[in-house]
Amino acid sequence: MYRQSIRRFGIIYNQRAGGGRVRPIRKMRHYDRFIRRLKKAKIENLVYQIKTTEYHQHAKDIGKHMYYDGIRDFIVIGGDGTLHEAINGIMEAMRKEPGGKVKIGIVPRGTGNSFLRDLDYNEDRLLEAIAENRWRACDTIQLRLSWGYLYSINLVSLGFVADVAKLRNDSFSLLGNFGYTLAVLVKLFTLSPYRFQCVIDGRSFDQDLTFLSINNSRYTGGDMLMAPHARFDDGKFDLIEVEPISKWKLLRAFPKIFTGKHQFLPEVKMSQATCIDFPSPLETHLMIDGEVEDVTLEQIKILPESMYVYQ
């Protein structure tokens, strides 16, 4: 008689996401409600192990070790930071030991949850997708740095946007999405363009920009519609180039980013690409999936269908 194979899931759980209360987990009622619902659903042939994050970058370590242990199905419960860490651990392990289709279910518990907006997230639908083994392809963005690699599922931004993210994370993180708005207003007073020298899909690029954003999905900062036409499964990233602009014009234009109408400004150019090379490595800080990193950047490229998301 035919028997379905066991589906092994690794659950990466951040209790702290979105200001959650940290407490010892001794009973099922202490877990996130999604875990309780998953257990109650009694999905056939599904088994799982749960690991709770305890320190910065722990989700990365958990994802990497679970992958090496043979797990290819994951559920990440947390915010953008938890998802970013987990994906970087999994992708790092995949690069070193390729093999198997990695599928991820995402349960938002943070303050931003930008990527989930493109999935039209619904907890009931996610449970159904896991039960029915229903998923769709997802690209990731790979950054080659002087010391190794980073991966993004949402977006990478350089220039003014990275400055805003750094200030928000350093000073206004407790304010949630409003912290991004406040950081924009503060950084406007020191606004100045950045020089970008790179090669985009074989085309030389040497220009001053207010910022450059490389987008796999549409939203950033929770509800800012940075790249209205981006799709995370089209094998390309969407480039948002903003030419030098006065602080007052940027201030007046800022509300347009919540509806995507900033795309009609004459200073904004949108295009698609698959690879950006930096012949002279760029030392900078950048914003990647809401996190800020100081890096020496050598290349940014899309990895088509490098993982799959339950939907």
Q: How many CA atoms lie within 13 A of 33 on its CB side?
A: 5
All domains of the chain, ordered by start, with CATH?
Answer: 7-110 (3.40.50.10330), 150-304 (2.60.200.40)
- What is the pLDDT averaged over residues 235-257? 93
- What is the pLDDT averaged over residues 271-286? 95
Per-residue pLDDT reduced to its tens digit, 16-58: 765 555 455 544 455 678 888 888 888 888 899 999 999 999 9
- Are the beta carbons of 225 and 219 closer than 8 angstroms? yes
Beta-carbon contacts of residue 308 (< 8 Å; ≥ 6 apart):
101, 102, 103, 104, 135, 136, 137, 138
Residue 2 confidence (pLDDT): 43
- What is the pLDDT averaged over residues 87-98? 95
101 φ, ψ (degrees, to nearest 5): -95, 115
Residue 243 confidence (pLDDT): 96
**Please, what is the average pLDDT of the chain?**
89
CB atoms < 10 A from the CB of 293, how many?
16
Between the two ends of the chain, the Cα-to-Cα distance in Å is 31
pLDDT band at 85 (very low <50, low <70, confident <90, very high): very high
Smallest CA-to-CA distance from 224 within 266, 254, 194, 265 is with: 254
Residue 181 confidence (pLDDT): 82
Q: What is the residue whose two structure tokens read 């790979």? A: 142
86 residue type, one letter: A
118 residue type, one letter: D
Entry pTM: 0.89
pLDDT band at 152 (very low <50, low <70, confident <90, very high): very high
- What is the pLDDT averaged over residues 1-16? 79
CB atoms < 10 A from the CB of 138, how many?
25
Residue 102 confidence (pLDDT): 96
Report which listed range, 13-17, 122-126, 163-167, 265-269, is most confident: 265-269
92 vs 38, 50, 64, 126, 216, CA distance in Å? 28, 21, 7, 26, 19
